[in-house]
Structure 1
Amino acid sequence: MSDSAAFTHFTSIDNAARANLCDVAELRLDQLQMPAEELRAALAGNSLPLLLTARHPAEGGQAPEDAAARAAMLEPLLDIATLIDLELRSATQMQGTIQKARAAGVPVVGSFHDFQATPADEVLNGAVNFAQQAGLDAVKIATYLNTQEDLIRLMKLAGQTHRLRVSVMGMGPWGRVSRLVLAKCGSLLNYGFIGASNAPGQWPVARLKELLAEL
């Protein structure tokens, strides 16, 4: 997967003809609320790489807080996943899911979200270090950018050498600028949307992919 992969999320089952719009599609299992076998049938013939997410409600999701309930949403679908995403806050509780994903050859992304601000550098670097210690393959950090200084700090984080892959993005008034700048700095996954945005500062995925190709 390239460092400038265009990424979009789906809250409904979309036609695979949209595959040319992005490199990877995120399926938000917490919003789809479909039984695993029904979802599997709906995806028959899909060739688009899939990242599966069952997001914790404290970080913008609609899945239960109970880690076992979210694991039960992810684990039956590991065979169709290219990646899975779970919150860093859940990495200890969901070690069983991480190990099952690893056994299935599915990399795990650990997410950290702050919808109000960009926390101190110690917190940002701590999230990366914790993801590494938890045995994750990549870490995704999404924060709200209140100032250009916040963006500069995320640029430095994305540009540093880490022992695992890093996806970094901003939300808010600096969000759109950040998605391009941070991709150029080496951010692994760069999220856009089809239909309606689910975070302030996202680009439509087709436009994002076009812009990333020009960087």
Structure 2
Amino acid sequence: MPMTPTASDVTSNFRPPAKRAVPWKNTPLVVGTISTASGLSHLIEAPEGVDLVEVRLDLLLSKGVSPDKIQEAMANRSVPALLTLRTRDEGGSFNWRSRQRVLFFLKFIPFADVVDLELINLPRLSRVLRMVRRTKRDLIVSSHSLKRKLTTLRLRRLLSQFRKTRARLYKIVGLARRKRDLLTLAEPLLNQSHMRLAIMASGPLATASRLSLPALGSRLLYVHLDEPAAPGQPSHKTTFAISDLKSNFSPKGA
């Protein structure tokens, strides 16, 4: 893996494009993730049915893709772009120092239409949040619990924390090993639908959550356009036969 990049690695002088409108009323909104150099082409021409292209900046950089090449693709995009820059605790690729991460965000926000920020890191990202507001980018506030199940009580506390920050959507990723874990994750979609939630699972029931929770009101459906950015993330080309569903909804031990 390359050394952790810094904002000084961005040497290009591309002009940021005009902000593109995101079709938020499309529910679920299909988000196509890119994390490889070849995947950048999908910013120029996204597959049919993809509403928003997520640029996983951390994964792209970890694979040695030049920051300038990423910025150039974002400057020439024809579809709305979501900027995501995760730490390892959030399922990302680098242990960013707060300042390094902030400076990278500031370099790329003008080239994005939507920015995803982790709830727990908001206090360290105040400059980023101010720029998101100032440039009128849409905001997704996320919370990832990749190694620990979310109980009903923890979800209530999480929703309370979400309400302190105005955002277009609130995204929750929680570990689901058994069906009852998936049921717990579904509860806010039924009881707090006014909050514009996107909820999905990690773990054995990750794929099942992507098939079932959008039917209950989860606002986002993530697919990958090149390589999976998270375990259980289907491709935009994935199709399921009825015989395939059993293994996804009833993995061993669930």
Q: TM-score, normalised by structure 1?
A: 0.86
Aligned match of 1:28: 56
1:8 maps to 2:57: no
Q: Which amino acid aligns with 2:147?
A: Q
1:148 maps to 2:152: no
1:46 maps to 2:77: yes
Aligned match of 2:124: 93
SS of residue matched to 2:232: coil
Offset of residue 171 of structure 1:
2.1
Deviates more, 1:74-83 or 1:62-71: 62-71
Offset of residue 43 of structure 1:
3.3
Instruction: Extract unaligned runs of 5+ from structure 2.
Output: 1-23, 240-254
Say which one has the larger Rg. 2
Deviates more, 1:89-98 or 1:135-144: 135-144
Aligned match of 1:212: none
1:120 maps to 2:151: yes
Alignment of 1:63-212 (within 5 A): 63-161=94-192, 164-207=195-238
Aligned match of 2:88: 57
CA separation in 2, counterparts of 1:128 and 1:75?
Answer: 27
Q: TM-score, normalised by structure 2?
A: 0.74
Q: Which amino acid aligns with 1:145?
A: A
Note the alpha carbon deviations across 1:71-111, whole angstroms, 9 max, x for none: 21122222221211111111111122112101111122122
> 4+ residue runs of structure 1 moved beyond 6 angstroms?
none
Offset of residue 142 of structure 1:
0.8
Asked whether the 8 Å contact 2:33–2:55 carries over to 1, the reply is yes
Offset of residue 21 of structure 1:
4.9
CA separation in 2, counterparts of 1:73 and 1:132?
Answer: 27
Root mean square deviation, CA, Å: 2.1
Provide closer, same or farther for how the CA distance between residues 200 and 30 of structure 1 changes in structure 2, counting only shifts above 3 A. closer
Asked whether the 8 Å contact 1:155–1:181 carries over to 2, the reply is no
Q: Which amino acid aligns with 2:35?
A: T
CA separation in 2, counterparts of 1:124 and 1:56?
Answer: 22
Q: Which amino acid aligns with 1:110?
A: V
Note the alpha carbon deviations across 1:47-83, whole angstroms, 9 max, x for none: 1111101102211112443222212112222222121
SS of residue matched to 2:149: coil
CA separation in 2, counterparts of 1:41 and 1:65?
Answer: 23
SS of residue matched to 2:209: helix
Asked whether the 8 Å contact 1:137–1:164 carries over to 2, the reply is no
Instruction: Extract unaligned runs of 5+ from structure 1.
Output: 209-215
Report the number of matched residues. Answer: 208
Asked whether the 8 Å contact 1:7–1:25 carries over to 2, the reply is yes
CA separation in 1, counterparts of 2:84 and 2:107?
Answer: 13
Percent identity over paired residues: 23
SS of residue matched to 2:172: strand
Q: Which amino acid aligns with 2:60?
A: L
SS of residue matched to 2:237: helix
Offset of residue 37 of structure 1:
4.4
SS of residue matched to 1:112: strand
Offset of residue 163 of structure 1:
5.6
